[in-house]
């Protein structure tokens, strides 16, 4: 299986490592650090993940290549990767 690093191009899967869900966002800091809701938001941010069947936006790391992180839109059933992009750019393709 080949994954297209946005910089290095098509490279073997073994050069990459999966770094998690690219759709979760770090909770904004609350006005009051003792805010109990913030604990819950962080609990969700750190631990809770959907388990989608279909297209999923993910963070991958070209760990044994250029060592850059990037985003990939992967189908969790077929493993087809519709698109990869630098972290600062939007993914295209799939049915999303």
Task: Name the minimum Å distance from CB 3 to other proteins.
Answer: 11
# binding residues, other proteins (CB under 8 A): 13
Interaction residues for other proteins, span 47-86 (CB under 8 A): 64-68
d(CA 69, CA 49): 20
d(CA 95, CA 32): 40
Paired tokens of 56: 């999923």
Whether residue 86 contacts residue 6, with contact meaning beta carbons closer than 8 Å, is answered with: yes
- Of 21, 24, 59, 65, the one binding Zn ion (CB under 5 A) is 65
Task: Name the minimum Å distance from CB 12 to other proteins.
Answer: 3
| Residue 41 interacts with other proteins (CB under 8 A): yes or no | no
* Strand partners of residue 26: none
User: Which positions touch other proteins (CB under 8 A)?
Assistant: 7-12, 14-15, 64-68
């Amino acid at each position: 299986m080949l994954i297209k690093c946005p910089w290095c191009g098509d490279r073997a899967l073994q050069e990459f490592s999966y770094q998690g869900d690219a759709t979760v966002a770090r909770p904004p800091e609350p006005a009051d650090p003792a805010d109990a809701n913030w604990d819950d938001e962080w609990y969700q941010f750190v631990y809770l993940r959907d388990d989608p069947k279909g297209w999923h936006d993910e963070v991958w790391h070209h760990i044994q290549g250029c060592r850059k992180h990037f985003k990939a839109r992967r189908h969790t059933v077929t493993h087809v990767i519709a698109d990869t992009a630098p972290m600062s750019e939007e993914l295209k393709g799939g049915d999303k």
